[in-house]
Amino acid sequence: MTRMLANRYEVGDLIGAGGMADVFQGRDTRLSRPVAIKILRSDLARDPAFLARFRREAQAAAGLNHPAIVSVYDTGEEGTDQGVLPYIVMEQVNGKTIREVIRSGERLPITRAISVVRGILEALEYSHRNGIVHRDIKPANVMITNGGDVKVMDFGIARALDDASATVTHAWTVVGTANYLSPEQARGEAADSRSDIYSVGCLLYELITGRPPFLGDTPVAIAYQHVSAEFIPVSQLNPDLPNGIDNIISGALSKDPLARYQNAREMLDDINRLDRGEEVQKKIKNPKRRNFVIAGVVAAIVMLASSGYLISRIPTPVSLITLSDVSGLTESQAKAELTGFTIVVERAPDPRVPIDRVASQTPTAGTKVEPGSQVQIILSDGPGKTSIPTTLIGTTIDQAKIILDGSGLVLAKTNPVESSEAPGTIVGVIPEPGSTVAAGSGVVLNIASGKVFVPDVIGASKIQATTILIQAGFIPNVIETQDADQPSGVVLAQAPASEESAKIGSSVTITVNTYKAEPGVTPTPNPSAS
């Protein structure tokens, strides 16, 4: 039986899962159109503060109507045994997220990167004008459709997570996107529209260089750099970039919100000027200018006092190195290839890469970096092995996902099947429970749809047939007939037929032969029966 929300939205296959919610394919039966349905995790839904903010912000986001924003069609709540689960019905978008593009190793041409950022800024200009701050702009929240259009996702939800009363889980979700956090967000201060501008600057930086502006071993280390460190100008990492791009990124990534682009339109205007080959308006501001002035005054006093000359030593520009590609190499080979760099080695399962070989590196190959800088390499543990849990049968879909996640497996598909179990109950697992599979494998779950097989009662007596049907959950509907050629007192026909499925509580019609031969009279055979 198909799962329905609000008696309107059919919930289909799971197409995505994240830290906050699961996303399902869906269909709006009233308007006959495909939709995407995001259902919030039950642990978040149990937080009253989050629920209140989510309802308010989701409704506000539903009022946004812009071609560069994924449309929110409807919001609601579903009552379950675990409590109320809020959901959002959204426009279904076919394409790739920027995160998927970056992880594939694809480097967008500068003109395309500028076009993508233009789409994001147009969406933000509209949302800011309507009082909605995104607060979680990152590659995973921006899609490029199959037609090449830009779509920004998750308005409202990100803001709900910024509630001051957020729990540790919520705070972890925010820290999890540390590569794109503004300095004020990293300090735990209030975020406004200029925080979105900073995040767009981080995303543009990564699109054109292949790496975020700041790298670190932990989210906290990255957040600290957002507050205090200076980023490497993109022109040093990629000298072929057009003039003015450093100014634009500097204007977006200023530590001081007052020195940043003050709104999306300002940055958008400079993006358009750059695209036309015109001079951008934003100028690079040196945050250490005041210190330089003081140092100059002190130097002048020293010169006058000593009647000598002060020769300033200008730092020699750092010569950047193009990072080698070490994917597929062993750890020792990779370290030899990256001599002079600080190597951080991590391990992770990867079914695509042989065990003990480099699966990925950060920054990516071809990036220009400073000598001695940090390079992270991920060594493959191979797919690894795990067992299909034996406790899945009889659980709900939410419980099953938790069990699968704990076993290093993913839910690949759900199949509604006919069963006598309660609707929504897991009644079958593929592969077989207890079997050994590669970690990360997909598991197919068969879920009771709410229908059951009708038992076969043909040939049974009336009493036997009605008893069997009632025990199976059906309501017997008895029709009597007289047929001298068939045994008396037994069921001759039934509808639905045996092995067909019917909803529990529905009626099953049985035809019972009530013919009784008169004493001493032998029934005459029916010629047509021979």
Q: Which residues are catalytic?
A: 136
Cα atoms in the 13 Å half-sphere on the side-chain side of 343: 20
Beta-sheet strand order (sheet of 150-152):
95-97, 142-145, 150-152
Question: What b/e readout covers 160-178, taking b as 16+ CB neighbours within 10 angstroms?
Answer: bbbbeebbeebeebbbebb
In the chain the first and final C-alpha atoms are separated, in Å, by 44
| Rg value, the chain, Cα | 33
Look up residue 10 and give its two tokens. Answer: 């059919």
- DSSP class of 256: S
d(CA 135, CA 199): 8
CA proximity to 62, closest of 43, 51, 76: 76
**Long-range contacts of residues 495-498, Cβ cutoff 8 Å, at least 24 apart:** 496/454, 497/454, 498/453, 498/454, 498/455, 498/456, 498/457, 498/458
CA proximity to 66, closest of 5, 123, 27, 149: 123
The residue type at 373: S
- Given a contact cutoff of 8 angstroms between Cβ atoms, the answer to whether 37 and 2 are in contact is no
Q: How far is CA 38 from CA 28, 69, 91, in A?
A: 14, 16, 11
d(CA 136, CA 154): 8
d(CA 122, CA 131): 14
How many separate helices (H) and strands (E) can be counted in the chain? 16, 24
CA proximity to 494, closest of 467, 528, 458: 458
CA proximity to 334, closest of 383, 375, 372, 382: 375
The residue type at 59: Q
- Given a contact cutoff of 8 angstroms between Cβ atoms, the answer to whether 119 and 78 are in contact is no
